[in-house]
Amino acid sequence: MRIKQLLIGMTASVIAVSSYIEMAVADLKFPMLVYRTGAYAPNGIPNADGFVDYYKMINARDGGIGGEKILHPECETGYKTQVGVECYEKNKKGAMVFQPMSTGITYQLIPKATADGVTIYSTGYGRTSAANGKVFKWIFNAPVTYWDGASIAVKHILSNNSNNIKGKKIALVYHNSAYGKEPIRTLEVLSKKHGFELMLLPVDHPGQEQKATWLKIRKARPDNILMWGWGVMNQVAIKSAASIKFPMDKFIGIWWSGSENDVLPAGKGANGYKSLTFNAPGTNYQVHKDIKKFVHDKGEASGDGSHFGTVLYNRGLFQAMVQVEAAVVAQKIHGTSKITPAMYRDGMENVKLDEKRLTELGFKNFSPPFANSCANHGGSGLAAVQQWDANKKSWSMITDYMGSDRAIIDKLIAEDSGKYAKEQKIAERCN
Amino acid sequence: MSVELLNFIETVLNGLMSGVMYSLVALGFVLIFKASGVFNFAQGVFALFAALTLVGYQTGQVPFAHLINELFGTNYHNWYASMPNFLAILLTMVTMIALAWIIERLVLKHLVNQDPIILFMATIGLAFALEGVGDLMWGSDVKVLDVGIPSGGSIWLEEATIGLATEGSDYYGMYVDVLNIWATVIAVILVVSLALFSQYTKTGRALRAVADDHQAALSVGISLRSIWILVWAISGFIAMVAGIMWGTESGVQFSLSLIALKALPVLILGGFTSIPGAIIGGLLIGVGEKLAEIYIGGYFETGALENWFAYVMALVFLLFRPQGLFGDKIIERV
């Protein structure tokens, strides 16, 4: 009798466990590489909160994606490349997509993810030439790349100088890392085209001390400064620029140098500082209303909810939305809600976020429209310029979304990705 | 005067001012090392913790708010709008003294007579633990620290030096950040106060006695534990000053703890046991790295010498004078 009971019990347990496993497999796994600790945590936290709140909202409002719940396990990288790779290895099984949140980690994951068949989505960061889908099948960096960013910043400077910057001096203050060095090649080509002098000023991690850099700037007196900074480097640079009385409206940061964190420590001195962006700040969007209703009002906010509507939080929303949309598209293409990582990649490659779709998703006028394709994983290459108002303590968009110098950027992407394809012996696709 | 010469003077001046900021961090290391032979790896985190605590008090932040709200489902964040700077600094000092007492009770007391390397390892653990506690207590957002110290380029100096340049030359005047001038004044006051305290007070003399010889100090009835608490409290106070200066410059955030790395070459140069050494070492490192970045940085493709050149200087110095400029001479008796 006891043996019979035991056997029945064991059978029931096996059935229960296997049905749990089946349920778990059916869920869509979106692992998150985050940095909620360490030197870059002030930027990592709001961004991660944006992701989590969006996933929670989709699970609560829509019951997941096509009925499949989103699982979003977090792995703490501390913005360290090696730890990021370990996080990827730990979580890659069954993962739909990874968002490395670091150019260094992205570079390391490109060959690994390609071999493993896992999608990498580095939104507006990572290896720029990964925009060439013919070579980088599994890597996406839409809606805009660093090279687009460099070109758009120069375009903005051109528009403020009657389209003539010949003989002008533009300094690039950059994080001395793979990330910070990304725009150099583009700026070198642009300097030849437009006749401006390029001054390169690297700042080592973390960038707490930059006095010599700013003494150099004070002596050289560049007409404009571009910045590719991250973390404390941004705050010190903006404060130093204000301190040497550099005109802040001629200081433009990339989209990772344009959050509230970067300008607040400089106080009034930061007034007029500009940065590029591909997402709007604030909470006046349908997606925020939905998050408030389905997540925050139920006491489910990620963190203390204090980052709601900040630049990096909103960027997290945008990144998560694209990742969710890719799953929606994949489910449509393959006619099943239970998609595999390979199916998910197909979805990401066919994401089409035009104005109509962005409005449906609650992102009307929030970000530039874009579409991926087999050959183009870099999106539309559109970004806008936002400016900081130190009195109101808020950012406001001062331009429309604008495109980059495609003739130059496309050529550079083709060159760099072609070189990579040759090294890695990758046959071009989409032909 | 030629513009080149004026620029050179400006670089040296700024190097000296930066050096003072490094010395502020190095001073805390020296005090603890002198009194207890412990190389306190947590000194940078002390500065961070003090700055976080100061901003927390200033803005009325509820400590451990996130944890409390998570555990009890509450929504507490602030319990008052603001606190006067003087009171907030005073409360931070009390907190740092309490921290010194806790460290002595929980860590040092149990490690008396252990090898220096064990004590060093303990301070590494302490650094990470304190960083975690700081995060839990005050959160990891970038915080604006304003205790009323002015910052920005000195307009007076700029205007006063414009006329020094050769007539007709294109010169903007000399640049020095007012915050750095304040840091220099505060560092001078600190060093003088420390010197007077250790020279003319009973406790100060006891402190020097412990620094010279633990056993001899114990034999004349000096309480080693009280001295250790005192020394850790003083270095906590110095960390607070350093935290205020660095935090005012960059905002208070967790990368502030990395300023300890700036103090290491200063200590190698100045010696681990000398307060004047920490000052002179800081000045030499400050000037050296600024001159290197500006005058030879251009010859390096990667640039950014400012951060690592200090270590090159320290390494070279180690080869010729391992005990540092003012450190006690290393004598091994066999």
ipTM: 0.88
Residue of B45, B258, B307, B309 to mutate, testing the A interface (most A Cβ within 10 Å of its Cβ): B307
Q: How far is CA B123 from CA A37, B23, B207, in A?
A: 20, 20, 21
The pair phi, psi for residue A397, each rounded to 5°, is: -75, 130
Mean pLDDT of chain A: 93
Closest CA to B151 of A416, A268, A392, A150: A268
Structure tokens at B166: 């050769």
Residue B155, CA atoms < 13 Å, CB-side half-sphere:
2
Q: Say if domain A27-145+281-381+410-424 classifies as CATH 3.40.50.300.
A: no
Residue of A76, A174, A208 to mutate, testing the B interface (most B Cβ within 10 Å of its Cβ): A208
Interface check for B64 against chain A (CB to CB < 8 A): the answer is no
Is the model's pLDDT at A6 over the cut of 60?
no
Q: A42-67, pLDDT tens digit by residue?
A: 899 999 999 999 999 999 999 999 99
Is the model's pLDDT at A185 over the cut of 70?
yes
DSSP readout, A200-252?
A: EEEE-SS-S--HHHHHHHHHH--SEEEEE--THHHHHHHHHHHHTT--GGGEE
Question: How many angstroms separate the CA of residue B332 from the nearest CA in chain A?
Answer: 39
Q: B237-265, pLDDT tens digit by residue?
A: 999 999 999 999 888 998 888 888 888 99
Cβ–Cβ gap B302/A37 under 8 Å = no
A206 cis-preceded (ω within 30 degrees of 0): yes
pLDDT of residue B242: 93
Close Cβ partners of A273 (under 8 Å, ≥ 6 residues apart): A238, A241, A248, A249, A251, A253, A263, A266, A387, A388
pLDDT of residue A2: 54
Residue A396, CA atoms < 13 Å, CB-side half-sphere:
8
Interface check for B141 against chain A (CB to CB < 8 A): the answer is yes
Q: A70-81, pLDDT tens digit by residue?
A: 999 999 999 999
Amino acid at A242: A
Mean pLDDT, residues A376-403: 96
Enumerate the CATH 3.40.50.2300 domain ranges in chain A, comma separated: 27-145+281-381+410-424, 147-279+385-405
Give the confidence band of B38 by pLDDT, cuts at 50, 70, 90: confident
- The residues with which A105 forms a beta bridge, in sequence order, are none
Task: Give the chain A residue nearest B9 (alpha carbons).
Answer: A215
Instruction: Give the position of tokens 């300890």.
Output: B260
Interface check for A202 against chain B (CB to CB < 8 A): the answer is yes
CB-nearest to B304 from A202, A215, A269 is A202
Instruction: Spell out the CATH class of A147-279+385-405.
Output: alpha beta
pLDDT of residue B225: 84
Size of interface A-B (CB pairs under 8 A): 123
Q: E strands, B40-173, where?
A: none
Cβ–Cβ gap A202/B307 under 8 Å = no
Structure tokens at A238: 């903006």
Sign of CA dihedral B57, B60, B61, B65: positive
- The structure's pTM equals 0.89
Weakest mean pLDDT among A119-128, A221-230, B215-224: B215-224
Q: B12-29, pLDDT tens digit by residue?
A: 999 999 999 999 999 999
